[in-house]
Amino acid sequence: MILLKLISWPYVRQHLPRWLLTIAGIVLGVAVFVGIHTANQSVVYAFHQTVDRIAGSTQLQISAGETGFDETVLDHVQAVPEVRVAVPVIEAVVSTGVQGQGNLLILGVDMTGDRSLRDYDLESSGADDDIDDPLVFLAQPDSLMVTDTYARENHLGPGAKVPMSTMDGQKLFTIRGIMKSGGLSSAFGGNLAVMDVYAAQKVFGRGRKFDRIDLALKDGANLEDVRAKLKTLLGTGFQVQVPSARAQQFDSISRVYTLTANVTSVFALFIGMFIIYNTFQIAVTQRRTEIGILRALGATRRQIRTLFLGESVVAGLFGSILGLLAGIAIARGMTGYIASLLGEIFGIAQKADEISTNPALMTFAVVLGVITSVVAAVIPARSAARVDPVQALQKGKYQQLSAGENRARRIAALIIAILAAACLLFERYRIFFYVGDALAVLAALLLTPTFALLLARALRPLLRWMRPVEGTLAADSLLQAPRRTSGAVAALMLSLALVVALGGLTRASYDSIFGWLTVALNPDLFVSPSQSLTQRDFRFPESMGAQLRAIPGIGEVQLVRDARIEIQGKPTMFVAADIADLRRHATLPPVAGNTEEMFRLASQGKAVLASENFALLNGFKLGDVVDIPSPSGMLHLPIAGIVTDYSDEQGSLLVDRALYKRFWNDSTVNIFRIYLAPGAAEADVKRRILDTFGNQRRLFVLTNRDVRRYILRLTDQWFGITYVQIAVAVLVAVLGIVNTLTVSITDRRRELGVLQAVGGLRNQVRGTIWLEALAVGTVGLILGLALGALQLYYSLHISAEDMAGLRLRYEYPYPIALWLLPGILLVAFLSAIAPAETAVRGSLVEALEYE
Amino acid sequence: MIELASVSKVFLGKRTVTALENVDLSISRGEMVSIVGPSGSGKSTLLNLIGGLDTASSGEIEIDGRRLSGLSDDELTRLRRDKIGFIFQFFNLLPTLTCQENVSIPLHLRGWPKKKIEERANELLNLVGLSPRREHLPDELSGGERQRCAIARALSVYPPVLLADEPTGNLDTHTGAEILALIRDLHERLGSTVLIVTHDIHVAESCARLVALRDGRIEEDRAGRLKYGVPGVPIHDPAETH
Ligand SMILES: Nc1ncnc2c1ncn2[C@@H]1O[C@H](COP(=O)(O)OP(=O)(O)O)[C@@H](O)[C@H]1O
Ligand SMILES: [Mg+2]
């Protein structure tokens, strides 16, 4: 401890900029880690909170996926003796259309029973106190209750009229109650409104169906027993769950996103480790005289090692705390983005304005930061302990600290590479595949110094040809002090490899989605009750199909109903459409199965069609039987065909509409797919549809182009994480290079002085620093682009088998590489500006003096 | 050739040091001047100021008719690379470059064509007798050879002024004598103006002119009292000098 104060503190004070650079590695890692995690968690947490607050004192919830169920179910449930109270619920999220207000969660409830489950704490308005009588609320189907925050923000008082676009056209609602803040009214960020459940059925076009039944038990009734009893009573098509289980669906649906985000954040920390390693390694080389003196004065090796590890703990702690603050700032910026992304892609809208700073995560991040820092310092601390006092005290003599280490490292790398290759043989066991990936990266890391040296050697003639003195010296700087650069190069390599892998994955996915959109998504118009196709809260009545068909210019109308239901416990997209209709417009051959056969079986309701990603993610093959829970009982249908369909991340199942209507007793429609009659103009037909339904129906007409653009935009946003990765890569490049150069100019001070003394102009001195930066950048680029090629292979497999279920072609993302090339070199050059200036500013006389 | 008019150099720091105080000195073309004085008397500072490595706090320095004060950093460098060759005590060779490459640096920095550089480097290495060692790295050379290489580098464009700060300070007596003989030889053959800082009183006295510094002032400026025949070996009794 005393050593830390006596020895380290003066060094830190003297080399403050450099020490801050060390910390920057940790700051970067921890910030990205905390930022992504916090943003993600905030969204998840907000969802859980909403579920929790809406649940009130509900003990069990009954649902049937997203499809809803008949009103009669309520009677059966209420008849169960252990049930104290059971109430129907419709829950929907609507876009308010008000700028800055975002979405509004609407809860349709039966006021009479609901108050024993949920606490509607109303502000006494004085004027319109009749709301306290639930029967009044019921009697007026245009009643609406809002939270006080929502009322305040939108300047709504009791009695105010609010227009709302419903399935029966534009309607005016009257605010008949304002809920005090806290509890229920803080659900969904306060953007909550309550209406009568039967009014909600009309507003959302639900027919005589409920989304859910919330219930509480009589005192003394056992929760598990009642649950089992209800399950047998209702059949397999229903889920009977505690409220928190519903929140877990959100986790399951956003799993892939969370996973990707986590990989990125952990990677950031990993890369930060190399920056720290680099700075510590350098510090040891530079402080060898000091270490030598300490050793000569009687310090043991262990004390020296402890000194350096102690420094790394302090640096780690300091950096982690800074990173934490930066991470929270990042999270603030990202939370809204992630929330809307998840909302749009999965149709599970969530409002997360506030970020939830989880103390456990914060502590974990700090601990992780410190551990990373210490791990990064282990090797440098060992080298420090190995410094030979005699050699260290001889002026100008450099002790080769790494002799022998190199050979051992190369051998280890070779063995690891062989093991990685061996793992590929057992690829079908997932664990081997992941271990193989990790080993491949490890081998690449171990070989980095060797490759960096070889590349620097290869670059020397080129640099020499460019600038005989400045270029040669720049290359020699890399060759002479591999320690100075290897960490920076490794960090750059890793982050560029990730950029290439993620970029390649993005491009491949994008290409296949684009291809699918172009070929398979061929309706001319889509008529939807919401602006976004992933929003399924509003539904059209079936009768609208005939009305549409009657509009001139419309050739064909397909009725589609999609909803998420639980298959093998996983929320899966279930699509019902007239298979015979689809058959007529099918353009893509199936991935597996016979075209004629599969359409025939499916249209007869004897089989389902599965999307390729459903099959891959859930391990289904052609002919396998899928158990599909419906409110009328379990369906066992074989997969007659596997088709390309990217409409849902988790995969989808397609059945005939007749079958769906029969088993789900649901004739509503989410989307009408429209094919124009020959010669009809798209714009004309679109206008005619809008004119026909005018304001008697809430509807949106989207053109094929709109939908394509929308899907591609979602895909873009989904891969937004790639941009975070590129930003990290650029930061790593800057940090690593600034770091390396800062040390380089100190180490080369004398050399640069000589250069000036024998006639080198300022620009020539700057030139050698710039060239050194470019050399580091080039080496990092070459290694990164190469490792990226390998990493892309792994990423594609992971994506295909474990994440997205997309089988993608391996194609190296040359455009990304071509962008990175000048990009990283430019960044390298920019990073060199400040160090180069420092190099030409110093006193020549001092530079030329011997150490 | 070299004119100093009441030149002073003050180092400002925690404690202010006056390294040179009102120094007046005039050196003609082709002179060989030794500079002596106890450690810390300002010898190196004087050389650094003349060589444009550092700037005077006050006073005027003129090299070959050009005033140094008011020159920008790059102008100073240009003047230096055309007019002045430096020889350092610690050679200051670049360790990763071969002997020939080290000698070529100043020529490359001037942007000479490759062919001309090669010719000149060979010529210089011949001149200092280092041709056989051309491809060697500094580490593979003896101290004397390193200093020869450094001298060749200093001579690269045959500058009119050679500044040597204790060129033999890091060499054994015999090698030191050889290096001095070489410098003297070059001085005679090339006619350059040579300023040499030395602690070796024999060397100092054998120069035509001797300038002695003490506490940043010129204490003595007179002719050398020794003649030399064999390099580095005085003809007269050294005792005479006292
Ligand atoms: N960069 C500097 N900063 C402060 N003082 C200096 C610096 N360089 C030299 N000095 C001081 O100037 C005086 C003259 O130094 P110098 O010319 O190196 O002496 P000499 O070469 O004769 O031994 C000394 O007292 C020395 O401490
Ligand atoms: Mg000196």
Instruction: State in Å: Cα B14 to ligand 2 middle.
Output: 21
Q: Are residues A208 and A68 in the same domain?
A: yes
Q: Does any domain span residue B232?
A: no
How confident is residue B228, by pLDDT bands cut at 50, 70 and 90? low
Report the percent of chain A where pLDDT is more than 70: 92
Looking up tokens 């050979």, which residue turns up? A407
Cα–Cα separations (whole angstroms), residue A761 to A839, B76, B78, B110:
12, 9, 8, 9
Q: Does any domain span residue B144?
A: yes
> What is the mean pLDDT of the segment spanning A634-652?
88
How many domains is chain B built from? 1
Domain boundary among A213, A241, A269: A241
> What is the mean pLDDT of the segment spanning A322-327?
91
> What is the mean pLDDT of the segment spanning B84-88?
90
User: What's the pLDDT at A519?
Assistant: 79
Q: Does any domain span residue B60?
A: no
Amino acid of residue A280:
F
User: What's the pLDDT at B22?
Assistant: 93
Amino acid of residue B84:
I
Q: Are residues A579 and A667 in the same domain?
A: yes
Q: Are residues A576 and A504 in the same domain?
A: no
Instruction: Tell which one of B17, B46, B49, B166 to mutate to probe ligand 1, the residue whose CB is within 8 A of the most ligand atoms.
Output: B17
Token couple for A657: 């509409």
Token couple for B222: 């007179």
Looking up tokens 């296949």, which residue turns up? A512
Q: Are residues A506 and A565 in the same domain?
A: no
Q: Are residues A587 and A652 in the same domain?
A: yes
Q: Could you give the CA distance from residue A161 to residue A737 in angstroms, rounded to a whole number?
A: 62
Q: Does any domain span residue A361?
A: no
Contact B106 A764 (CB under 8 A): no
Cα–Cα separations (whole angstroms), residue B169 to A73, B151, B155, B172, B181:
104, 14, 20, 8, 15
Token couple for A660: 């769906």
Per residue in A498-546, pLDDT (tens digit) is: 889 888 888 888 888 888 888 788 899 999 888 777 778 888 999 999 9
Q: Is the pLDDT of residue A345 over 70?
A: no
> What is the mean pLDDT of the segment spanning A119-130?
63
**Contact residues of ligand 1, CB 6 A cut-off:** A 845-846; B 11, 13, 17, 19, 37, 39-45
Phi, then psi, of A59 in degrees rounded to 5: -100, -35
Per residue in A775-811, pLDDT (tens digit) is: 999 999 999 999 999 999 998 888 877 777 777 888 8
Q: Strand A633-643 to strand A625-630: parallel, antiparallel, or no bridges (unpaired)?
A: antiparallel
How confident is residue A116, by pLDDT bands cut at 50, 70 and 90? confident
- Beta-carbon contacts of A527 under 8 Å, excluding residues fewer than 6 positions away, are A540, A548, A671, A672, A674, A689, A699, A700, A701, A702
Q: Does any domain span residue B63?
A: no
Q: Is the pLDDT of residue B221 over 50?
A: yes
Q: Is the pLDDT of residue A97 over 70?
A: no
User: What's the pLDDT at B236?
Assistant: 43
Report the percent of chain A where pLDDT is more than 90: 25
H-helix or E-strand containing A528? strand A525-528
Per residue in A232-281, pLDDT (tens digit) is: 998 888 889 898 887 777 777 677 777 777 777 787 788 888 888 878 87
Over chain B, what is the mean pLDDT? 87
How many domains is chain A built from? 3
Selected residue with higher pLDDT from B191 and A587: B191
Q: Does any domain span residue B40?
A: yes
Q: Is the pLDDT of residue A130 over 60?
A: no
CB A38 within 8 A of CB A174: no
Q: Are residues A475 and A560 in the same domain?
A: no
User: What's the pLDDT at B224?
Assistant: 79
Residue-by-residue DSSP string for A56-124:
TT--EEEEBTBT-EETHHHHHHHTSTTEEEEEEEEEEEEE--STTT-EEEEEEE-HHHHTTTS---BPP
Encode burial over A33-56: b for 16+ CB neighbours within 10 A, e otherwise. bbbbbbbbbbbbbbbbbbbebbbb
User: What's the pLDDT at B18?
Assistant: 92
Ligand positioned closest to the Cα atom of B45: 1
Of A114-128, A270-284, B38-52, B162-176, where does mean pLDDT reach its minimum?
Answer: A114-128
> What is the mean pLDDT of the segment spanning A601-629?
91
Q: Could you give the CA distance from residue A190 to residue A193 in angstroms, rounded to a whole number?
A: 9
The domain that contains B39 carries what CATH number?
3.40.50.300
Of A222-231, A278-287, A749-758, B204-213, where does mean pLDDT reach its minimum?
Answer: A278-287
Q: Could you give the CA distance from residue A403 to residue A422 in angstroms, rounded to a whole number?
A: 30
> What is the mean pLDDT of the segment spanning A355-369?
85
Q: Does any domain span residue A16?
A: no
Q: Could you give the CA distance from residue B37 to residue A483 in angstroms, rounded to a whole number?
A: 43
How confident is residue B239, by pLDDT bands cut at 50, 70 and 90? very low
Cα–Cα separations (whole angstroms), residue B5 to A276, B27, B61:
54, 12, 6
Q: Partners of A170 in the beta sheet?
A: A165
Q: Mind telling me how many Å the CA of A850 is from chain B's nearest CA?
A: 7
H-helix or E-strand containing B56? none
Q: Does any domain span residue B132?
A: yes
Q: Are residues A546 and A582 in the same domain?
A: yes
User: What's the pLDDT at A846?
Assistant: 80
How confident is residue A405, by pLDDT bands cut at 50, 70 and 90? low
Token couple for A509: 């996915």
Instruction: Tell which one of B8, B9, B10, B11 to mutate to probe ligand 1, the residue whose CB is within 8 A of the most ligand atoms.
Output: B11
User: What's the pLDDT at B237?
Assistant: 42
Which burial class, exposed, middle or buried, applies to B115 when counting CB atoms under 10 A from its CB (0-12, 13-18, 19+)?
A: exposed
> What is the mean pLDDT of the segment spanning A388-400?
60
Per residue in B158-181, pLDDT (tens digit) is: 999 999 999 988 888 888 888 988
Q: Does any domain span residue A591?
A: yes
> What is the mean pLDDT of the segment spanning A211-219?
91
In what order do the strands lie in the sheet containing A652-656? A625-630, A633-643, A608-611, A652-656, A570-577, A554-567, A671-676, A525-528, A700-703
Q: Strand B84-87 to strand B161-165: parallel, antiparallel, or no bridges (unpaired)?
A: parallel
Task: Please tell me which of the candidates B73, B96, B106 has its beta carbon nearest to residue A480.
Answer: B96
Q: Could you give the CA distance from residue A483 to residue A449 in angstroms, rounded to a whole number?
A: 8
Over chain A, what is the mean pLDDT? 84
Q: Could you give the CA distance from residue B8 to residue B55 in angstroms, rounded to a whole number?
A: 10
Q: Does any domain span residue B48?
A: yes
Q: Are residues A738 and A833 in the same domain?
A: yes
Q: Does any domain span residue B205?
A: yes
Q: Could you give the CA distance from residue B215 to residue B49 in angstroms, rounded to a whole number?
A: 16
Per residue in A548-599, pLDDT (tens digit) is: 999 999 999 999 998 888 888 788 889 999 998 888 888 788 888 898 999 9
Q: What is the CA radius of gyration of chain B?
A: 18
Domain of residue A110, residue span: 60-241
Instruction: State in Å: Cα B18 to ligand 1 middle.
Output: 9
Q: Is the pLDDT of residue A174 over 80?
A: yes
Amino acid of residue A191:
N
Highest mean pLDDT among A121-135, A166-180, A390-404, A594-608: A594-608
Phi, then psi, of A357 in degrees rounded to 5: -90, 105
Q: Is the pLDDT of residue B134 over 80?
A: yes
Q: Could you give the CA distance from residue A610 to residue A622 in angstroms, rounded to a whole number?
A: 9
Which residues are found with C-beta within 5 Å of the ion, ligand 2? B 44
Q: Mind telling me how many Å the CA of A456 is from chain B's nearest CA?
A: 14
User: What's the pLDDT at A187?
Assistant: 80
Q: Are residues A502 and A562 in the same domain?
A: no
Phi, then psi, of A436 in degrees rounded to 5: -60, -45
Q: Are residues A472 and A586 in the same domain?
A: no
Q: Are residues A227 and A88 in the same domain?
A: yes
Q: Strand B58-63 to strand A525-528: parallel, antiparallel, or no bridges (unpaired)?
A: unpaired
- Residues in A touching B53 (Cβ below 8 Å): 757, 844-845, 848
Looking up tokens 């829970």, which residue turns up? A629
- Beta-carbon contacts of A468 under 8 Å, excluding residues fewer than 6 positions away, are B104, B108
Encode burial over A750-783: b for 16+ CB neighbours within 10 A, e otherwise. bbbbbbbbbbbbbebbbbbbbbbbbbbbbbbbbb
How confident is residue A851, by pLDDT bands cut at 50, 70 and 90? very low
Amino acid of residue A252:
S
Q: Are residues A86 and A143 in the same domain?
A: yes
